[in-house]
């Protein structure tokens, strides 16, 4: 894929990055890329779900912004319930300037509540030039761009132990049927094929979404995501049946279905890459690599590797993504400096800061892949960016939180129930439809 390095920026674009929007006659000056400390003495408050290493690495990006602009930054971790925390801060008169929103549904909720400022011409120009249009669509509500996708996840990656597959004489499969066949060969060699994190319902939604996108295709995926297609549709029942082939096969899952239901996401990675491996493969996003590396000391590309989620029933191999969109709140105390931060986040320079730190993918096509620290991360980034507009955002993250994002309820719980007993795909589809209809109506 062709990339446009920042050194080749010319004309108005270069001036915008260097001097701010006013360089091209658009609004007040900002110093998102100029290093003239025009925002000295100002503070930008940023709220987001990140904690631990993610928060630490994002702080490096904020520090780079501060070094250029003179603005101070303050990051507030919201925990998983961004909507509730941000809403209470707005009501209390203590709204942050910028929020990193992890769900399309929450971004839409914020916009329709009148909480967000449309993004500046500078950000819009960067998104138009350096992002696939699908990212603009997911960041827009009623034709206005409110969200800049800064951090993305590639959720169509199956991670494996090269030693386990080599011992079984198995190569990474290209189809779902071949995946199950390879799984049997791995299990015959002494390890379970897959570690499944059934205790975390969100991982099961990711399993379903990959199967459904490949098997049913992007048009039906979009329709189901918007609840314009009912969950009782034959395509849903078929996808549940396909997923059930894996769930009901005791030979394939470490600990069986009960073991999967008591395994959380970090535990599922440990069962493949920990000191006492129990399985050869674990499906989840590119962030598996961070857990395998940071918690279990695995060398990515040597002790841990991935292959793309395989194509299902002759469909195309899926590329499901997630991501965190930066938005600017109207009620923040420093919205101009907040918008300047987004203008910086829209540059490949900002993305490169976190890319070098690790545990990060950018949907920005202008980011040089050499910025990533290892070949495996470069491969996942190339796959994500190369998918262009065929990328589809995590379906559950597009749904109302009551259906797609609540522990012990909605899709999370119903897919856990299906993992517990995968014998009735049609009945599960009916229960999913009932929960979805209630949530979307609300």
pLDDT, one tens digit per residue, over 263-300 is 999 999 999 999 999 999 999 999 999 899 989 999 99
d(CA 432, CA 318): 22
User: What confidence tier does 6 reach under pLDDT thresholds 50, 70, 90?
Assistant: very low
d(CA 325, CA 110): 12
Q: Which of 4-8, 54-58, 186-190, 210-214 has the lowest mean pLDDT?
A: 4-8
User: What confidence tier does 4 reach under pLDDT thresholds 50, 70, 90?
Assistant: very low
pLDDT, one tens digit per residue, over 200-217 is 999 999 999 999 999 999
Q: Which two tokens stand for residue 321?
A: 């993504």
For residue 197, give the nearest of 247, 161, 245, 231 by alpha carbon. 247
pTM for the model: 0.85
Backbone angles phi, psi at 371, to 5 degrees: -65, -25
For residue 323, give the nearest of 184, 131, 165, 144 by alpha carbon. 131
- Give the 3-state secondary structure of residue 13: helix
Average pLDDT, the chain: 91
CA R_g for the chain: 22
Q: Which residue has better confidence, 408 or 18?
A: 408
pLDDT, one tens digit per residue, over 356-407 is 998 899 999 999 999 999 999 999 999 999 999 999 999 999 998 889 988 8
pLDDT of residue 37: 81
Q: Which two tokens stand for residue 242?
A: 């396909």
Asked whether this chain's domains 8-146+322-386 and 157-319+398-441 adopt the same fold, the reply is yes
Instruction: Report percent pLDDT > 90 for the chain.
Output: 84
Instruction: Report percent pLDDT > 70 for the chain.
Output: 92
Q: Which DSSP symbol is given to 175?
A: B
Q: Which two tokens stand for residue 203?
A: 């991982």
- Give the 3-state secondary structure of residue 331: coil
pLDDT > 70? residue 39: yes
In contact, 122 and 172? CB cutoff 8 Å: no
In contact, 279 and 194? CB cutoff 8 Å: yes
For the 157-319+398-441 domain, the top CATH level (class) is alpha beta
d(CA 77, CA 86): 11
pLDDT > 50? residue 1: no
The domain locations on the chain are: 8-146+322-386, 157-319+398-441
What is the mean predicted confidence (pLDDT) over 233-251? 96
pLDDT of residue 401: 84
pLDDT of residue 35: 61
d(CA 99, CA 84): 13
Architecture of domain 8-146+322-386: 3-Layer(aba) Sandwich (3.40)
Partners of 157 in beta bridges: 308
Token look-up 């408050």 returns 45
CA dihedral 422, 403, 210, 302 (to 10 degrees): -100
- Give the 3-state secondary structure of residue 323: strand
pLDDT, one tens digit per residue, over 93-152 is 999 999 999 989 899 999 999 999 999 999 999 999 999 999 999 999 999 999 999 999
In DSSP notation, 242-310 reads HHHHHHT-TTTBTTHHHHHHT--HHHHHHHHHSSS--EEEEE--TTHHHHHHHTT---BTTTBEEEEPP
Q: Which two tokens stand for residue 428?
A: 């599960």
14 Cβ contact list (under 8 Å, min separation 6): none
Q: Which DSSP symbol is given to 139?
A: T
260 Cβ contact list (under 8 Å, min separation 6): 195, 196, 197, 198, 199, 253, 254, 419
* CA distances in angstroms from 188 to 77, 136, 183, 251, 257, listed in the order given: 45, 46, 9, 9, 18
Q: Which of 130-134, 190-194, 229-233, 400-404 has the lowest mean pLDDT?
A: 400-404
pLDDT, one tens digit per residue, over 417-439 is 999 999 999 999 999 999 999 99
Range 335-347 burial, b when 16+ CB lie within 10 A, else e: bbbbbbbbbbbbb
């Amino acid at each position: 894929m062709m990339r446009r390095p920042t050194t080749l920026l010319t004309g108005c674009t270069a001036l915008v990055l260097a001097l701010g929007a006013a360089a091209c006659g658009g609004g007040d000056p900002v110093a998102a890329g100029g290093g003239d400390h025009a925002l000295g003495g100002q503070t930008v408050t940023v709220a987001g779900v990140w904690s631990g290493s993610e928060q630490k690495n994002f702080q490096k990006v904020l520090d780079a912004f501060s070094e250029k602009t003179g603005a101070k930054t303050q990051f507030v971790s919201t925990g998983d319930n961004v909507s509730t925390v941000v809403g209470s801060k707005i009501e209390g008169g203590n709204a942050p300037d910028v929020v990193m929103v992890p769900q399309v549904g929450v971004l839409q909720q914020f916009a329709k509540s009148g909480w967000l400022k449309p993004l500046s011409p500078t950000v819009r120009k960067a998104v138009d030039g350096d992002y696939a249009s699908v990212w603009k669509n997911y960041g827009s509500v009623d034709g206005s761009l409110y969200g800049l996708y800064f951090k993305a996840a590639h959720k169509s990656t199956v991670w494996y132990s090269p030693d386990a597959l080599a011992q079984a004489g198995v190569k990474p499969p290209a189809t779902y049927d071949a995946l199950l066949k390879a799984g049997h060969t791995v299990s015959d060699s002494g390890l379970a094929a897959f570690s499944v994190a059934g205790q975390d319902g969100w991982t099961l939604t990711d399993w379903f979404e990959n199967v459904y996108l490949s098997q049913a295709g992007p048009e039906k995926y979009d329709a189901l995501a918007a609840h314009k297609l009912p969950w009782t549709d034959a395509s849903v029942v078929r996808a549940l049946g396909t997923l059930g082939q894996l769930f009901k096969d005791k030979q394939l899952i470490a600990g069986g279905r009960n073991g999967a239901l008591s395994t959380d996401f970090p535990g599922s990675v440990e069962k493949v890459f920990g000191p006492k491996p129990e399985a050869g493969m674990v499906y989840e996003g590119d962030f598996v690599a961070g857990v395998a590396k940071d918690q279990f000391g695995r060398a990515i590309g040597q002790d841990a590797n991935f292959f793309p989620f395989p194509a299902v029933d002759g469909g195309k191999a899926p590329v499901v993504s997630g991501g965190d969109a930066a938005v600017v709140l109207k009620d923040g105390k420093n919205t101009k400096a907040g918008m300047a931060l987004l203008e910086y986040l829209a540059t490949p320079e900002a993305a490169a800061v976190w890319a070098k730190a690790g545990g990060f993918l950018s949907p920005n096509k202008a980011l040089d892949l050499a910025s990533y620290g290892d070949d495996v991360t470069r491969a996942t980034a190339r796959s994500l960016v190369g998918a262009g507009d065929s990328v589809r955002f995590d379906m559950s993250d597009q749904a109302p939180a009551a259906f797609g994002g609540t522990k012990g309820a909605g899709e999370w719980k119903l897919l856990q129930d299906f993992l517990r007993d995968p014998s009735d795909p049609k009945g599960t589809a009916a229960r999913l439809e009932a929960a979805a209809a209630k949530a979307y109506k609300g």
